[in-house]
Amino acid sequence: MLASPPPAPADAAGSRGAATGQLAGKAAVITGAARGIGRACAVAYARAGAELLLTDIGHDLAGVPYPLGNADQLAHTARLCQELAPTAAVVTAEADVRDLDAVREVVDGALDRFGRIDILLNNAGIAAPSGKTVQDITPSEWELMLDVDVSGAWRMIRAAGSAMAAQRAGSIINVSSTAGLVGYRHFAGYVTAKHALIGLTKSAALDFAPFGVRVNALCPGSVRDDGAAEGRMLSEIARSLEVPVAEHEETFVAAQPMNRLIEPEDVAGAALWLGSDGSRQVTGSTVTVDGGFTSR
């Protein structure tokens, strides 16, 4: 069921800044929108004038050793977006990307509400269970990682693809990772899923190219767990690597050529470009936002 946030205060748009219009007239579906990169992208899209369907699982998941985005966080993301774009439609839906029927309901809800889907941002994903050598990963841990991080994106593409092909336009953005480009010790499941997501991106780009639908992968590096976005991915990766929480930012910065962590807004800026007409000839590409990490 779709839900809308409470009306924004009358002066909210003025206090937050008016929409730029870069995505005016476009409708976007964002998964994993409750917090972190998903929230930052949603806010950027709202500021640019898009109408939004924001979805997240809304509850914790057995096998994932940290809390997932919850209903209150998803509603907060929607309120932030509505404040930025008081006249635009912003709706939410709780859905598990492992469930094809739930995914179809999200897509059908977006089509019923907006009449079209111009942007699909596949951001939902998990970083753990991780922290084990490849031979110690259990079958259930392996299957869970792949089911959420790559098959979840495939389900969303499968559900939205026909509508995008029929309208002869659309942009699909799959949020992968630098783990989709290089290997990391003790993260074989995550690395495999993110590599697979890039492979899915390239093949889907070729399948959809005749219909004017673009498919690209976005690969963030070490993204800071910004308090406003309520992100916790980097700290969870640090926990899996047994890096002390108090030291984890310094540890990750040491591996960054630009000597700073990526901000959620940096990733959102790239997602905004990939969703806009400014990237209309970009498809099958892998865009890194990693401060040069994968250049070495």
Known catalytic residue: 45?
no
Tokens of 288: 């890194």
Our separate counts of H helices and E strands in the chain read: 10, 7
Tokens of 39: 């929230």
Closest by alpha carbon to 117, among 29, 39, 56, 44?
29
> What gap in Å lies between CA 186 and CA 65, rounded to an integer?
16
Tokens of 274: 């990939």
Give me the catalytic one of 45, 66, 184, 190.
190
Which DSSP category does 186 fall into? T
148 strand-pairing partners: none
> What gap in Å lies between CA 259 and CA 273, rounded to an integer?
25
Q: Are 177 and 194 in contact (CB under 8 A)?
A: yes
Residues carrying an active site annotation: 190
